[in-house]
Amino acid sequence: MEYVVAQGAAVPKIGLGTWQLRGTTCRRVVEDALDLGYRHIDTAQNYGNERQVGSAIAASGVDRDEIFLVTKLSPRNLGAKRVAETTKESLARLGVEYIDCLLIHRPNPLIPVRETLDAMNDLVEEGVVHHIGVSNFSQSQLMEAREQSLEPILTNQVRYSPFDRKQALVEYCQIHDVVLTAYSPFLHGGILRDSTLSGIGLRYEKSAAQVALRWLIQQENVVTIPKASSYPHLKQNIEVFGFSLTDEEMARIGRPSAAKTISSTIRGFLT
């Protein structure tokens, strides 16, 4: 496993996203991921699967300190009192004593971000949260959060892939030592049959998916949390550390046309 080190935290470059994973399937997938060497697990209050994620961690035999565990506050829980109450509820469901990184799932225009961040800062002081971050924040919203929080903002979790570029945000994160956590790296599957990714993959005996993930984690301060529900896909997603893309390949992957971005997204939703 490779890590991004930022603000005193070592964040595994490949993690497991658990959105839409439920019940016994969620527990099995998380157990399989930990068995394969994943050490970064992402969940959220809104996913309804914190209990299953926690059960899988407990059953895995992996030391808790080896796992970078992330959960996210629901937008309806961003008031100061709800931040404290619902984080404690998340801890109970997860069956852990601390959360490695607690995120604001997305901004709530009805609740000042300062109020939420102050409450999250208090949880860091208590020791039940080690780091805080945000999700689905624009660059300007991230700038505001960084200005309003006493604790550093460790990460901004956003949708990011070769065909869903956010170059200005990536560069801002790199300059300010913020980790950009990329979710939906495959655009819901829409880029997996892309000829550029597949062609580059032939050189390394890797799939288009693996090339897309390698493109992400080869960038400074970028980690990614692809979702997978089968053992073969989990295994494939973590096997991206034995090769490196050339500068020319990185540039070629990173310059898709707008039409390709749209068509790849549509294909992902239709298949």
Q: Mean of the per-residue pLDDT values for the chain?
A: 94
pLDDT interval class at 166 (50, 70, 90):
very high
Helix (H, G, I), strand (E, B) or coil at 230: coil
Q: Does residue 189 register a pLDDT over 90? A: no
Residue 193's pLDDT is what?
86
pLDDT in tens, 256-266: 544 455 454 54
pLDDT in tens, 24-55: 999 999 999 999 999 999 999 999 999 999 99
Given 47, 160, 172, 183, the catalytic residue? 47
What whole-number distance in Å separates Cα of residue 259 and Cα of residue 160?
17
Q: How far is residue 45 from each of residues 8, 15, 125, 130, measured CA to CA in Å?
A: 25, 18, 22, 18
**φ, ψ dihedrals at 113, nearest 5°:** -60, -30
The structure's pTM equals 0.93
pLDDT interval class at 268 (50, 70, 90):
very low
Q: How many domains does the chain have?
A: 1
| Catalytic annotation present for 231 | no
Q: Which domain holds residue 16?
A: 3-270
Residue 260's pLDDT is what?
53
Task: Kindly report the CATH number assigned to the domain that includes residue 90.
Answer: 3.20.20.100
pLDDT in tens, 23-32: 999 999 999 9
